[in-house]
Structure 1
Amino acid sequence: MVTVTKHISVTVNGALRQAEVEPRLLLAHFLRDVLDLTGTHIGCDTSQCGACTVMVNGEAVKSCTMLAVQADGAAVTTVEGLGQMDAMHPIQQGFWEKHGLQCGFCTPGVMMAMVGLLKENPDPSEEEIRDGLEGVICRCTGYQFIVSAVQHAAKLIREAEETKQAMANAGEGR
């Protein structure tokens, strides 16, 4: 039996990645099994839990609902692409400082979904954060620490933007 494959090129976490994949391969499995980016978790394979959420061209997507061939030419960001310990993304820093996780299984998907929310709404209310968490299931928490972590991340993003604006304004005054 001959296996049919398709060549794809995907920019993942800023790096161009190319591979031959079967047309039926899910993006989640491409990231985990082909690229060895295991931060994208698979909890259900039915798009219910959200543990597999990644950013595709700047939009939060459940990677178990998308084929790898559909990502051909796209830019994908996984939790590994958010930041590092010495330069954390504000959502990572928020989860770190406000204890936004327990077991950690859902955390990558929650973080990626919340990156999408904060991109659309940089100052969400608690209700808007909880609405944004729909489709991402955490079985360990009552979500309060997650909400606090997202609120803190939003504050960090606003403060960084204010600092950036102040520096730009100071540069104009010279």
Structure 2
Amino acid sequence: MGFIGLPAAGVNSPAAKVETATATATVTNTVTATVPGPTEDSSTSASASTSPAVRWSGPLLISGDFNLDSVPPGGVLPTDGDIELSQISDGQEAVLRSDRANLAVVPQGESPDAARCAVLAQTQGQRLADLPVAAGGKLCLVTNEGRSALVTVTAVHPQAQNVSVDVRVWQKTD
């Protein structure tokens, strides 16, 4: 009978408190694992707070060259714009190019801020290259006057030979 009492005594023994301490340590480890999430959010908030203000943001219908430095962005004479619809390939992709700016494809799932767009344009951008972009695709560039811009293709219209885009142009940084 003493054997049957031992487990009951073990539940109320200091060993049971050690198990509780171990469970607390596990919770502490879980909290520690969660800490990097807010740190990333904090750095994102910090970069967002230091990011320049948005100069202009909205939808555009592009069928030729567009100057993204004007407010609102507007069509210009050929080869004077920051971005140009070169053609529509296979009815599914807008082929965009620039004679003045480096265009960089944004990695899928990324929503860059002004600084990240500038880095992408400077390090991975291409000038005078035709970049096919399907609906949902994004491009970063730095305009002729030095403003970061994000262009998101929202729809391709093969019959009309134009493309709908959402554009965000940030103020210049000094």
TM-score by length of 1: 0.25
TM-score by length of 2: 0.25
More helix per residue: 1 or 2?
Answer: 1
